[in-house]
Structure 1
Amino acid sequence: MQQAHILIVEDELALQKLVVTVLNKEGFTNIHTASNAEEALQINEQFQLDCIILDVMLPGRSGFEIAPLLRLKTEAPILFVTARTTDLDKLTGFALGGDDYMTKPFNPLELAARVKVQLKRHLSYKQAIHHAQGGRDSVSKQQVSISETTNYRSSSLTPQSNTNRGIYDFGRFQIDEQAGELMVGGESVDCPAMVFQLLLYLCKHPNRIFSKGELYEQVWGLDAVKDDNTVMVHIHRIRERIEEKPSEPTYLVTVRGMGYKLLSRPKRKEV
């Protein structure tokens, strides 16, 4: 993890230096810095980044403006750091591809802890995909190619039936833990790392109610810095991918006053 490439995009040089110092003390050595959008985009082209700490209020183009451009080149988690504290700002950040959001002033040690959590998830995700792709070279297509061997709209498998292979089948969609792949209706669907991890956790615990705090602790791994908005946005992203009509979910449902539950069988729509 300490060899990960981290990009810090911050125009306040004193704060930029402080973050670099804290990360250095945590053992990170491949740290890149940028003071504006253009420098950040250039570094993103030059290196395979593993984590991006992105200030929102930059000179010229803002962090919100360049986040989608960074996403074109990298799947690295993006942590927004900004003085903008409204819920709308946070939701905007997540909608633009952010994975976490911290408001200034902040504790640099907390930032380092969040970076470690994001890196752990991201690197594990990359490793799983690497192993899965390597395995595909040595086994038959019949064993590996989920899209060629399974009809996801009519599958009769239960979510638990292939857990020994890390595959969870819910009929309309199927998630393959080892391959890091989400299939919906027989087609592979793009899924950012943390969206994938949250959905995977829910798939491993179907029909169980989780509060936002519980999901944040289990998936993001930080019990002391819960952020309900983070969970809400990622739930929305999951629904956009797996639900036929995200505004009326039949799989990932809200249990009012309690949290969320992923159903092993879709909820019947009211007539």
Structure 2
Amino acid sequence: MIDDTKILIVDDEVGILELLEITLRKEHFSHITTVSTKADALQALSEQDFDIILLDVMLPDGEGFSLCTEIRLHTTTPILFISARSSDFDKLTGLSVGGDDYITKPFNTLEVIARIRAILRRQRDYEGRDLETEPNIFSYDTFAFSPGEALLTVKGNVVEVTAKELELLHFFCKHPNHVFTVPQIYESVWGEEAFGVEKTVTIHIAKLRKKLNDHTGQPKIIVNLRGIGYKFIPPTGDFL
């Protein structure tokens, strides 16, 4: 069965592009676009929509981090960084600028495929959820979130959020006042077994807090219970 997923791969190494394309086609992904520069990536994105983007950090005409920032101005398409830069700082930077996941080179092609399928599965599960079983909108004193429209407004202003941030917010809104460990959050939102993922979850929560205006020294909406996990506390009039 041919998968109709549209994938954009951005990498300046011809060997990596060929390896990923061959591997993906063996897994029945047929709509694959490969480019090797930031400029070509932006051109491809202006011509069509993609379901997932595989993005290198080091490109001949700019960093993948800056490209990710530009992409996030226009779309919430999931972005998977694949890079030789393997420091914690690089990984955290990739996630903080809007990446959904980060894999380091050299990589196992089976792991890449597994990550892609997990991201796509979560995306499709989110888009295909049964809207009749949940509110059309989660409305609180400081923000409102409409899952059906993938729309977040904070104090009446529309706020841009990534696909993963939407999923994370949706998860919290569906489970108010419940405490979840980091592994529980990761497995529920990312759809993968949790192993060494604390920084990934922490970065996404920090980004979400900032967009909810909950990023002060003492967050009141997404609260960290040290040594236990996180709890979403729906904001009331006391938060204003």
Please report the TM-score for the alignment, with normalisation by the length of structure 1.
Answer: 0.78
Are 1:254 and 2:224 an aligned pair? yes
Q: Is the 8 A contact 1:51 1:77 kept in 2?
A: yes
Q: CA deviation at 1:50?
A: 1.4
Q: 1:123 to 1:45 in 2, by over 3 A?
A: farther
Opposite residue 95 of structure 2, the aligned amino acid is F
Number of residue pairs the alignment of both structures matches: 238
Higher strand share: 2
Partner of 2:156: 186
Partner of 1:71: 72
The structure whose RCO (Cα within 8 Å, separation 6+) is larger is: 2
DSSP 3-state at the match of 2:187: helix
Show structure 1 runs of 5+ residues with no match: 133-161
- State how far apart, in whole Å, the 2-side matches of 1:22 and 1:224 are: 25
Partner of 1:241: 211
Partner of 2:47: 46
Q: 1:60 to 1:255 in 2, by over 3 A?
A: same
Q: Is the 8 A contact 1:250 1:266 kept in 2?
A: no
Partner of 1:9: 10
Q: Is the 8 A contact 1:56 1:82 kept in 2?
A: yes
DSSP 3-state at the match of 2:200: helix
Q: CA deviation at 1:20?
A: 1.0
Q: CA deviation at 1:124?
A: 5.3
- State how far apart, in whole Å, the 1-side matches of 2:52 and 2:116 are: 7
Q: CA deviation at 1:266?
A: 6.0
Show structure 2 runs of 5+ residues with no match: none
Per-residue CA deviation, residues 148-189 of structure 1 (Å, 9 max, x unaligned), is xxxxxxxxxxxxxx9743433343223222232223223332
- State how far apart, in whole Å, the 2-side matches of 1:236 and 1:267 are: 23
Q: Is the 8 A contact 1:76 1:122 kept in 2?
A: no
Partner of 1:101: 102
DSSP 3-state at the match of 2:166: helix
RMSD after superposition: 2.7
- State how far apart, in whole Å, the 1-side matches of 2:72 and 2:214 are: 26
DSSP 3-state at the match of 2:179: coil
Partner of 1:219: 189
Q: 1:62 to 1:241 in 2, by over 3 A?
A: closer
Of the candidates 175, 200, 211, which is equivalent to residue 205 of structure 1?
A: 175
Q: 1:224 to 1:27 in 2, by over 3 A?
A: farther
Report the identity percentage.
39
Q: Is the 8 A contact 2:9 2:53 kept in 1?
A: yes
Q: Is the 8 A contact 1:206 1:263 kept in 2?
A: yes
- State how far apart, in whole Å, the 1-side matches of 2:147 and 2:222 are: 19
Per-residue CA deviation, residues 42-66 of structure 1 (Å, 9 max, x unaligned), is 2111211111100112223121232
- State how far apart, in whole Å, the 2-side matches of 1:181 and 1:25 are: 36
Per-residue CA deviation, residues 3-29 of structure 1 (Å, 9 max, x unaligned), is 121111122222221111221122211
Q: Which of these two proteins has the greater Rg computed from alpha carbons?
A: 1
Bigger mean CA offset, 217-226 vs 189-198: 217-226
Q: CA deviation at 1:69?
A: 2.2
